[in-house]
Amino acid sequence: MNIKRYLLGGLAATACAGVLLAQTLPGGNPFSGRTGGSRRMSGATGAGGVVYRNGDPYGHEPDGRLYSLPRRPSDLSDRHGVPQWEVPPGFRNDTFTFARVNYHSNRYSDSWATDYPDSDLNLSARLQEFTTFKTNPRPVVVKLTDPTLFDYPFIYMVEVATLEFEEDDIHALRRYLLTGGFLMVDNFFGATAWENFHKQMQRVFPDREPRELDISHQIFHIVFDLKDKPQIPKITNWARHQQNGFSPIYPDTTGPHYWAYFDDKGRMMALICHNTDLGNGWSRELSPAKLIGNITLQEGSESDLENDRYFREFSEQYAYPMAINILVYALTH
């Protein structure tokens, strides 16, 4: 199957990622200061610059009723300022492609697309720029029942509070994970969201339970040596409570949890990032109008400055380093 071929073909290059980062960028964070093609979003906006009604990214009217979020664009002809690059001919069959899962929700149709396509494009660009990953500049969206699912060794799901697997999804995901695939789940908060996701995964693996990872696990140290489990807030929530750094969305979201599902041989098949939003960190970049090299061109609006503070505090310090840790671990184990 293609997953196994990818892993064998790209293993050596992937394993070198942390070594090269450490050797070429000593004493500094590699994610700061990308200019000339970086792009940003500000305020209460969603993927592709969609503005949330009432500034609420959770889809609530003022009286608490849910409404349908605006459908996100899937056309990547507009890369929102993220640079394009060519894949070397020898790597065209072995590039890493970031694959996001389009799944069925029991409330609204496009919760799967939160921060899309910005987080997917930016993370792909960062991998290409700062690691030895040969990365496809065009991330993809797949359904679990797509025949192409097994072309991608890593898949990503978000906002699973309202996830509801179809019967065919259950069989496809089980087969994908047991035959070498890796699932990352991100961006869902609170006990109710966890209960729904756990219920859906029990349908996939009735005989398996997730295990919570502590900070000593290798996934937090394989490239970047993280001292704490990263907790990335949604920028809309953080902007209202900047003095606290992170203000819980609900009373039961005060701590991040990283859970894992393992196969019979002890291989991690899925990493579940609960009470954190790594993807929101990837969706932010420094405001390109403000910087060229180290020269400040203009002061920037308040929303620009707010976005850049979030980027400095969360994106470059935690969201990108944790993403690289996860990917290197997933593709070498």
Backbone dihedral angles phi then psi of residue 36, each to the nearest 5 degrees: 65, 70
**Tens of pLDDT along 158-169?**
999 999 999 999
Tokens coding 139: 């991330």
Nearest to 228 by CA among 276, 183, 262, 191: 276
What is the pLDDT, as a whole number, of residue 219? 98
User: Given this model, what pLDDT does residue 21 score?
Assistant: 45
Write out the two tokens for 2.
Answer: 């293609």
CATH number of the domain within which 71 lies? 3.40.50.12140
Q: Pull the structure tokens for residue 4.
A: 């196994």
Collect contacts of 315-318 with beta carbons under 8 A, ≥24 apart. 315/31, 315/281, 315/282, 315/284, 315/285, 316/29, 316/31, 316/32, 317/29, 318/226, 318/230, 318/231, 318/232, 318/278, 318/281
- Alpha-carbon gap, residue 90 to 137, rounded angstroms: 16
pLDDT at 29: 52
4 phi, psi to nearest 5 deg: -65, -40
For residue 235, the model assigns a pLDDT of 82
At residue 249, the pLDDT reads 60
Residues 6+ apart with CB under 8 A from 313: 245
Q: What integer pLDDT is reported at residue 75 of this predicted model? A: 64
**235 membership: H or E segment, kind and range:** helix 235-240
Low-confidence ranges of the chain (pLDDT < 70): 1-75, 242-251, 286-305
Element (H, E) at 270: strand 268-274
- The reported pTM is 0.79
pLDDT score of 236: 78
pLDDT number for residue 74? 53
Range of the domain at 298: 2-332
- Alpha-carbon distance of 110 to 305, in angstroms, equals 29
pLDDT at 246: 54
Domain count, the chain: 1
pLDDT given at position 38? 35
Nearest residue to 187 via CA among 279, 250, 307:
279
pLDDT at 91: 77
**Residues counted in the chain:** 333
Q: What is the pLDDT of residue 250?
A: 61
Asked if 46 contacts 114 with a C-beta cutoff of 8 angstroms, the reply is: yes
As a whole number of angstroms, the distance between CA 284 and CA 314 comes to 10
Q: Are 318 and 223 in contact (CB under 8 A)?
A: no
